[in-house]
């Protein structure tokens, strides 16, 4: 049998396309129907030179280097709307968008704000560039004192993985303090890592820095193994996603729950303690990484319903069609870049939806959201008296 063996150096597009198959379910990239749903549902799709569907077309046409020349993939906020709607169930977010960002990063091609956040994460274990020694400063004054495992060496039932923003961001520290109050009210035996905790790394992973993610995960894994606890809880859906789905791939595996799941388990114990009425119309924003990506929709609503006086209304996009606040995939650190292109913030659209549905309170369950939505409210004249509160802050208020 004669074979024609013509030597062929794979083009960049070919090599890149093949690398996508290595991602979980990556072979589905071959089954793209070019239906355009992903590009249509993408919140910033209209601004991208190559929205997701067209990126796949570019790969097939061996023209991916054209895609690489543009910088619009940085508009992607890793909200998973595309992956969720795709009829072929192609892993667009984790596969294509993240891998493209990885390639751009390797070429040194990254917007400067994001560069600082990544360098800070590597150096200080948090994207803000704050001193690691101050990571537990938010606990000052809380009674009873919060157990910091490195200092108070004792076994606990629950390891609370606090996260970057609740630890350092002045607005989100209130959420951390509120959760401490609720956990204490329930008599939970919990502890935090404090200065030993590093960023979970999930957003950095989705922004294209796989190496940085692994480094942070390994550091956290080593710290976890020093202490005794039954399970990990976190109020951060991004950390939850990392701990539940990505860390086990690196052999770091612990039972993990989002704080709303954990508290919902304790609802019978919690409900009688919620004595203070909060008479308000509340609408709940499903965070991308809690709802759409990890399927947790009911527990947060259950907690809100337990608060006396609360009337719950749903925005037009809710549950798995929830609109991203814009913080994911590096979006928290690309605000200037994305503003230049869009002159619109996703968080502002969401705030309008909350106003449209008559809400007094926009309830959230992710640390990126209070600052993002509060900024959006400032920019939006119609928002009036709309207030942003994490579910945990409302619970703490209801405790009286």
Partner 1 sequence: MNQDIFVAVEHLRGKVSDISYIMLAAAHDLAQNTGGKVVALLLGLNAQQLAGNLNADQVLYADHSLLTDFNPEAYQRTLIGIIDEYKPRAVLFGHTSIGTDTVGCISAQLGLPLVSSVRTIEANNKLISQICGGKIMAECNLPEPIALITLVPGGYKPEQGQSTQSPPVTAIPVQVLDGLRILLNKYIEPETSDVDISKEPLLIAVGRGIQNQDNISLAEELAQAIGGVVCASRPVVDQGWLPTSRLVGKSGSTVKPKVYLAIGISGAPEHVEAITGSDVIIAINTDSAAPIFNIAKYGTTADLFDLVPALTEKIKNIKG
Partner 2 sequence: MNIIVPVKLVPDLVEELSIDASGTALDTAWLRMIINEFDDHAIEQAILLKEKTGAQVTVLSMNIEGVDDLLFAAAARGADRLIKLNGDFVNASNNHALARAMATLIQDLKPDLILTGVQAHNDLDGSIGPRISNYLGMPYVGYISGVNISDDKVIVRKEYPGGLIGEMQVSLPALLGIQAAEQPPRYVAISKVRQMMKTMSIEELDLATLDSMGAPVVNRMFQPETTERATMLSENAEDAANQLVNIFKELGVL
Please report, as ranges, the residues that interact with partner 1 according to CB under 8 A: 112-113, 170, 335-337, 339-340, 375, 378
The SS3 call for residue 142 is coil
Choosing from 129, 248, 336, 358, the residue that interacts with partner 2 (CB under 8 A) is 129
Residue 105 binding partner per list partner 2, partner 1, none, with a CB distance cut-off of 5 to 8 Å that depends on partner kind: partner 2
Cα first-last separation, the chain = 84
Bridge-based pairing of strands 190-192 and 158-160 is parallel
> How far, in Å, CA of 93 to CA of 77, rounded?
9
Residue 257: how many CA atoms within 13 Å on its side-chain side?
Answer: 15
Choosing from 115, 253, 269, 382, the residue that interacts with partner 2 (CB under 8 A) is 115
- 155: how many CB neighbours lie within 10 A of its CB? 11
Residue 339 binding partner per list partner 2, partner 1, none, with a CB distance cut-off of 5 to 8 Å that depends on partner kind: partner 1
Q: Tell the smallest beta-carbon distance from residue 108 to partner 2 (Å).
A: 4
Using alpha carbons, select from 130, 290, 127, 296 the residue that is nearest to residue 213. Answer: 127
Residue 113 binding partner per list partner 1, partner 2, none, with a CB distance cut-off of 5 to 8 Å that depends on partner kind: partner 1
Q: Tell the smallest beta-carbon distance from residue 176 to partner 1 (Å).
A: 17
Candidate segments 68-76, 212-220, 284-292, 316-324, binder of partner 2 by CB under 8 A = 212-220
Choosing from 33, 35, 106, 250, the residue that interacts with partner 2 (CB under 8 A) is 106
Contact 386, 321 (CB under 8 A): no
Residue 378 binding partner per list partner 2, partner 1, none, with a CB distance cut-off of 5 to 8 Å that depends on partner kind: partner 1
- Element at 389 (helix H, strand E): strand 387-390
Strand order in the sheet with 147-148: 147-148, 190-192, 158-160, 231-234, 256-258
Choosing from 22, 69, 89, 133, the residue that interacts with partner 2 (CB under 8 A) is 133
Q: Tell the smallest beta-carbon distance from residue 126 to partner 1 (Å).
A: 15
Candidate segments 18-26, 202-210, 262-270, 364-372, binder of partner 2 by CB under 8 A = 202-210
Contact 82, 122 (CB under 8 A): no
- 299: how many CB neighbours lie within 10 A of its CB? 20
Phi, psi of 186 (to 5 degrees): -85, 0
94 in contact with partner 2 (CB under 8 A)? no
Contact 357, 283 (CB under 8 A): yes
Q: Tell the smallest beta-carbon distance from residue 114 to partner 2 (Å).
A: 8
Nearer to partner 2, 49 or 214 (CB): 214
The encoded tokens of residue 120 equal 């800070």
212 in contact with partner 2 (CB under 8 A)? yes
Residue 119 binding partner per list partner 1, partner 2, none, with a CB distance cut-off of 5 to 8 Å that depends on partner kind: partner 2
110 in contact with partner 2 (CB under 8 A)? yes
Q: Tell the smallest beta-carbon distance from residue 207 to partner 2 (Å).
A: 11
Burial category of 2 from C-beta neighbours within 10 Å (exposed 0-12, middle 13-18, buried 19 and up)? exposed
Residues 6+ apart with CB under 8 A from 144: 184
Q: Tell the smallest beta-carbon distance from residue 78 to partner 1 (Å).
A: 20
Q: Tell the smallest beta-carbon distance from residue 133 to partner 2 (Å).
A: 7
Interface ranges with partner 2 (CB under 8 A): 102, 105-106, 108, 110, 112, 115, 118-119, 122-124, 129-131, 133, 208-212, 214-215
């Amino acid at each position: 049998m004669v074979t024609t063996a013509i030597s062929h150096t794979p083009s960049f597009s070919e090599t890149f396309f093949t690398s996508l198959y290595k991602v979980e379910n990556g072979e589905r990239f071959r089954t793209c129907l070019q239906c355009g749903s992903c590009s249509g549902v993408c919140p910033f799709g209209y601004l991208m030179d190559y929205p997701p569907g067209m990126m796949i077309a570019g790969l097939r046409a061996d023209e991916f280097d054209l895609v690489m020349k543009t910088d619009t993939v940085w508009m992607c906020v890793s909200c998973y709307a595309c992956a969720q709607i795709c009829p072929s169930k192609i892993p667009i977010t984790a596969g294509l968008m993240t891998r493209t960002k990885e390639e751009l990063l390797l070429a040194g091609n990254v917007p400067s704000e994001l560069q600082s956040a990544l360098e800070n994460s590597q150096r200080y274990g948090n994207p803000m560039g704050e001193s690691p020694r101050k990571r537990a400063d938010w606990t000052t004054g809380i009674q009873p004192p919060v157990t910091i495992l490195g200092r108070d060496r004792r076994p606990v039932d629950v390891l609370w993985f606090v996260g970057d923003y609740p630890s350092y961001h002045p607005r989100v520290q209130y959420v951390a303090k509120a959760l401490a109050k609720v956990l204490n009210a329930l008599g939970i035996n919990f502890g935090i890592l404090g200065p030993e905790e590093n960023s979970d790394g999930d957003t950095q992973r989705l922004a294209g820095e796989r190496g940085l993610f692994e480094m942070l995960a390994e550091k956290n894994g080593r710290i976890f193994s020093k202490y005794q606890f039954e399970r990990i809880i976190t109020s951060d859906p991004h950390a939850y996603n990392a701990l539940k789905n990505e860390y086990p791939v690196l052999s770091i595996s612990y039972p993990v729950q989002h704080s709303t799941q954990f508290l919902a388990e304790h609802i019978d114990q919690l409900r009688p303690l919620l004595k203070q009425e909060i008479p308000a119309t509340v609408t709940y924003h499903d965070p991308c990484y809690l709802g759409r990506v990890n399927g947790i929709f009911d527990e947060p609503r259950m907690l809100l319903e337990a608060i006396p006086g609360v009337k719950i209304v749903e925005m037009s996009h809710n549950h798995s069609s929830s609109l991203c606040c814009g913080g994911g995939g590096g979006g928290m650190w690309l605000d200037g870049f994305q503003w230049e292109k869009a002159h619109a913030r996703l968080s502002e659209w969401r705030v309008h939806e909350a106003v449209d549905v008559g809400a007094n309170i926009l309830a959230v369950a992710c640390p990126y959201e209070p600052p993002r939505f509060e900024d959006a409210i400032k920019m939006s004249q119609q928002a009036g008296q709309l207030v942003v509160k994490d579910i945990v802050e409302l619970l703490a208020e209801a405790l009286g």
